[in-house]
Amino acid sequence: MSGAPARCGFAAIIGAPNAGKSTLVNKLVGSKVSIVSRKVQTTRMRVRGVAIDGESQIVLVDTPGIFVPKRRLDRAMVKAAWAGAEDADVVCLLVDVPDVLQSPGGYAAQDTGRIVEGLNAVSRSAILVLNKIDATPHDQVLPLIAKLNEQAKFDKVFMTSATNGDGTKDLLHYLASCMPEGPWAYPADQAADMPLRLLAAEITRERIYDRLHQELPYATSVSTEQWAVKKDGSARVEQTIFVERDSQRAIVLGKNGATIKLLGSSARKEMETLFGHPVHLFLHVKVRENWADDPAHYREIGLDLPKD
């Protein structure tokens, strides 16, 4: 490090479901720490990615999408998202520009509008990050910025493409400047604050959503039941995929087990790339009705179980 003082703090990324929060966090960190899926509401917990810029360590909190909750799990996810915003040194409201502009009333299902109202309600300042601008005519962006600034005062506005990285370096530099002085919370080579067992489960869940996003609803959870390091340095990983009905189990398994074999092969390769050693992955599928109301599941993914 140079003679400048070390800085470390938290930056929360909030936004509507599928706005690109996980993609942005992965881009800022420089490696994959959060699952990405075209299916909305796939991030269920607050995932912490660790980015470094100069003397600053930025702990990026990828929060669940904020939307109108219907189920108990939904309420827990939204509560976790707002908690992540309240605890952070800086809050980034990420807006999917094409989705907002194309949705009725100017907001994607009104979720972005509700988030802006929520920021005002808690008197929390934020920076505005307009995402996917590479897919938007620039003459439509300025009116959107003006409209959002009418509803909340943003300290700064950034225009980015989380997928190709446009504008993300400027955003990272700004976040670094916002961090308070203090020692780094994590080693310089640590990219995420997440146990490997939990990260492995998230990888498999991402693969399920990628392959079965049309056939399978959200009633799916993955738990890493066993993680054993072998003498040759490889890991034996056993995971259970929980579904709510027998019909869903049949979808995950596929004809003659073909689907689960493909899911396992894809997830294993991803794990080996991230973890840097061979992985022997074994997947099982079990039916557990109302798993989303199981307190143990909430504890495992770091959420508080709502009382009602």
Are 209 and 255 in a shared domain? Answer: yes
The sign of the dihedral angle between the CA atoms of 125, 29, 303, 95 is positive
Q: In terms of pLDDT, which residue wins out, 263 or 137?
A: 263
Measured CA to CA, the distance from residue 130 to residue 146 in angstroms comes to: 12
Q: Is residue 223 part of a domain?
A: yes
Q: Give residue 178's identity as a one-letter amino acid code.
A: C
Are 120 and 18 in a shared domain? Answer: yes
Measured CA to CA, the distance from residue 147 to residue 62 in angstroms comes to: 25
Q: In terms of pLDDT, which residue wins out, 261 or 70?
A: 261
Q: In terms of pLDDT, which residue wins out, 233 or 214?
A: 233
Measured CA to CA, the distance from residue 11 to residue 135 in angstroms comes to: 26
pLDDT at 206 over 60: yes
The sign of the dihedral angle between the CA atoms of 134, 136, 142, 147 is negative
For residue 50, give both structure tokens: 């660790």
Length of the chain: 308
Beta bridge partners, 48, equal 61
Over residues 280-287, the mean pLDDT reads 94
* Number of Cβ within a 10 Å radius of residue 286: 11
Are 77 and 31 in a shared domain? Answer: yes
When the pLDDT of each residue in the chain is averaged and rounded to a whole number, the result is 80
Across 16-30, 31-45, 210-224, 227-241, the highest mean pLDDT is recorded for: 227-241
Q: Is residue 45 part of a domain?
A: yes
Q: Give residue 233's identity as a one-letter amino acid code.
A: G
Least confident of 53-62, 127-136, 171-180, 299-308: 299-308
- Identify which of 81, 62, 177, 73 has the alpha carbon closest to the alpha carbon of residue 124: 81
Are 214 and 145 in a shared domain? Answer: no
Over residues 245-257, the mean pLDDT reads 91
Measured CA to CA, the distance from residue 234 to residue 237 in angstroms comes to: 10
Domain edge (last residue) among 143, 178, 213: 178
Percent share of the chain, pLDDT over 70: 75
Least confident of 45-54, 104-113, 126-135, 185-194: 104-113
pLDDT digits (tens, 9 = 90+) for 4-43: 789 999 898 888 877 888 889 889 988 766 655 444 444 4
CATH number of the domain where residue 241 is located: 3.30.300.20
CATH number of the domain where residue 48 is located: 3.40.50.300
Q: Is residue 264 part of a domain?
A: yes
Are 160 and 212 in a shared domain? Answer: no
Are 17 and 90 in a shared domain? Answer: yes
List, in sequence order, the alpha helices (H) in the chain. Answer: 21-29, 72-87, 97-102, 111-121, 138-151, 168-178, 196-212, 246-253, 258-275, 295-300
pLDDT digits (tens, 9 = 90+) for 82-93: 666 777 899 899
Q: Is residue 183 part of a domain?
A: no
pLDDT at 39: 43
Q: Quote the domain boundaries for residue 157.
A: 7-178
Are 227 and 296 in a shared domain? Answer: yes
pLDDT at 47 over 90: no
List, in sequence order, the alpha helices (H) in 95-242. Answer: 97-102, 111-121, 138-151, 168-178, 196-212
Q: Where are the beta strands (DSSP E) in 150-250?
A: 154-159, 220-229, 235-243
Q: In terms of pLDDT, which residue wins out, 143 or 175?
A: 175
- Rounded to two decimals, the pTM is 0.66
Domains identified in the chain, total number: 2
